[in-house]
C-alpha cells in the first residue's frame, strides 16, 4: 500500500511526473472529470484547516469522486477516546483513500501502519506537510519553469513551520538550490534538519535575521506565519509574532521576477498592500494546491489498485 507521509516518500522523478499531470489537468480539466467516479476520499482533520481540507475535497469532486469526513476531532469518536489506529481501520471500511491532519507529530505514519487504504499526511504537528510542499513545487515550477538553479529565501517561523521543513527537504534534491534562512534566533530551523538535510548533502545555505539585506539575491521569498499554536507560552509568541512584516517598501531592492509565496493562512507577516504586486503569487499558490492534490489522488489510487 502506497502512502504519502513525508515528501521523501516520493522520488524526484515521481514529483516531476505529478507536476506534469497537474499541469495537464490545468490545461485539460474535462479529461479528468470522471477519473475517480465511484471512489471516496475521507478527510480526517483533527486540527483546523481551510486550504488543505477544502482543496482535497474540491480535488476529489473535480475527479468525479465523493468525499466523507470530519473537520474537527470533537465531532468524531476521538472525543470519546478512540485511538488513531481504530479510527483509521474504521474509515478504511468506508473510503478508498484518506487525507489526515493531526496535531501530534507522527500520527499519520502510525495511521498508515494500520490502514488498508492509502493515507496522506495533510500536516502533523510542527513536523511535515508534504502536500503543501507539492503545492509549492508546482507553483515554483509554473512561475520559474524550473526547480533548480535558484536562491530560495524562507522567512519567519522556521522552527515550528512544518511547510518550511518539507520544502527545504524537497528542494535540497534539486541542483544548485541555495537557501537563505531568515528568522529570529529563537525560530531558526531545527538542528536535525540542518545536519541531516543541509550539511549532509552539502547544500549551500546562510542563516540571517535581516530580511532586507537578503532581499536582492532572492528568486523565491517564502514567507511564513509565526505558529502561535506551537508556542509553550503566550509571552514568547507576542514578542516574536511581528518579527517580519513584508511591505512594498521592503520589496524595493527585490528582483523584478521574484515570486513571493506563503502557505497561508497569513496573520501580519505580509501587508495586504503587497497583494497587488504582480510578484505576490500566494493566491495562485492556493489554486495550485487543488491541481497537485488531484494528481496525488490519481497516483495513489492507481497504485493501490495495481
Residues at the contact surface with ligand CP, assessed by CB under 6 A: 49-52, 123, 132, 263-265
Query: Can 80 be counted among the known catalytic residues?
Result: yes
Query: Can 52 be counted among the known catalytic residues?
Result: yes
Which of residues 52 and 288 has its CB atom nearest to ligand CP in the complex? 52
Closest distance between ligand CP and the C-beta of residue 289, in Å? 8
Which of residues 65 and 263 has its CB atom nearest to ligand CP in the complex? 263
Which of residues 136 and 198 has its CB atom nearest to ligand CP in the complex? 136
Closest distance between ligand CP and the C-beta of residue 288, in Å? 12
Which of residues 40 and 129 has its CB atom nearest to ligand CP in the complex? 129
Cell of 182: 531568515
Closest distance between ligand CP and the C-beta of residue 123, in Å? 6
Residues with Cβ within 8 Å of 295's Cβ and at least 6 positions away in sequence, in order, are 18, 19, 21, 22, 25
Tell me the pairing of strands 150-155 and 40-45: unpaired
Main-chain phi, psi angles of 182, to 5 degrees: -110, 110
Q: Please report, to the nearest 10 degrees, the dihedral formed by the alpha carbons of residues 138, 142, 145, 146 taken in order.
A: -20
Query: Can 127 be counted among the known catalytic residues?
Result: no
Closest distance between ligand CP and the C-beta of residue 155, in Å? 16
CA–CA dist 194, 168 (Å, integer) = 10
Candidates 23, 39, 51, 287; catalytic one: 51
CA–CA dist 216, 198 (Å, integer) = 23
Candidates 40, 53, 101, 290; catalytic one: 101
Candidates 129, 225, 281, 290; catalytic one: 129
Which of residues 47 and 219 has its CB atom nearest to ligand CP in the complex? 47
Candidates 43, 52, 131, 151; catalytic one: 52
Closest distance between ligand CP and the C-beta of residue 122, in Å? 7
The owner of cell 514578542 is 239
CA–CA dist 100, 73 (Å, integer) = 11
Query: Can 162 be counted among the known catalytic residues?
Result: no
CA–CA dist 16, 11 (Å, integer) = 9
CA–CA dist 103, 126 (Å, integer) = 8
Catalytic residues: 51-52, 80, 101, 129
Amino acid at each position: 500500500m502506497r502512502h504519502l507521509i513525508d515528501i521523501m516518500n516520493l522520488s524526484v522523478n515521481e514529483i516531476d511526473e505529478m507536476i506534469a499531470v497537474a499541469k495537464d489537468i490545468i490545461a485539460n480539466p474535462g479529461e479528468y472529470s470522471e477519473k475517480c467516479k465511484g471512489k471516496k476520499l475521507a478527510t480526517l482533520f483533527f486540527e483546523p484547516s481551510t486550504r488543505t481540507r477544502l482543496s482535497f475535497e474540491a480535488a476529489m469532486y473535480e475527479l468525479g469522486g465523493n468525499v466523507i469526513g470530519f473537520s474537527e476531532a470533537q465531532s468524531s469518536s476521538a472525543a470519546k477516546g478512540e485511538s488513531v489506529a481504530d479510527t483509521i481501520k474504521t474509515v478504511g471500511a468506508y473510503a478508498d483513500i484518506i487525507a489526515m491532519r493531526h496535531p501530534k507529530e507522527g500520527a499519520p505514519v502510525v495511521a498508515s501502519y494500520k490502514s488498508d487504504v492509502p493515507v496522506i499526511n495533510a500536516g502533523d504537528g510542527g513536523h511535515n506537510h508534504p502536500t503543501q510542499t507539492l503545492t509549492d513545487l508546482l507553483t515554483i515550477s509554473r512561475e520559474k519553469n524550473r526547480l533548480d538553479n535558484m536562491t530560495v529565501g524562507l522567512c519567519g517561523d522556521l522552527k515550528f513551520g512544518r511547510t518550511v521543513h518539507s520544502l527545504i527537504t524537497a528542494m535540497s534534491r534539486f541542483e544548485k538550490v541555495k537557501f537563505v534562512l531568515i528568522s529570529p534566533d529563537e525560530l531558526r530551523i531545527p538542528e536535525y534538519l540542518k545536519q541531516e538535510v543541509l550539511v549532509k548533502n552539502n547544500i549551500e545555505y546562510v542563516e540571517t535575521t535581516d530580511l532586507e539585506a537578503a532581499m536582492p539575491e532572492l528568486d523565491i521569498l517564502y514567507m511564513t506565519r509565526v505558529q502561535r499554536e506551537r508556542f509553550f507560552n503566550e509571552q514568547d509568541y507576542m514578542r516574536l509574532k511581528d518579527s517580519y512584516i513584508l511591505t512594498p517598501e521592503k520589496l524595493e531592492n527585490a528582483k523584478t521576477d521574484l515570486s513571493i509565496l506563503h502557505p497561508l493562512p497569513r496573520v501580519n507577516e505580509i501587508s495586504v498592500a503587497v497583494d497587488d504586486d504582480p510578484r505576490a503569487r500566494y493566491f495562485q499558490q492556493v489554486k495550485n494546491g487543488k491541481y497537485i492534490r488531484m494528481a496525488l489522488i490519481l497516483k495513489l489510487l492507481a497504485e493501490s489498485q495495481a
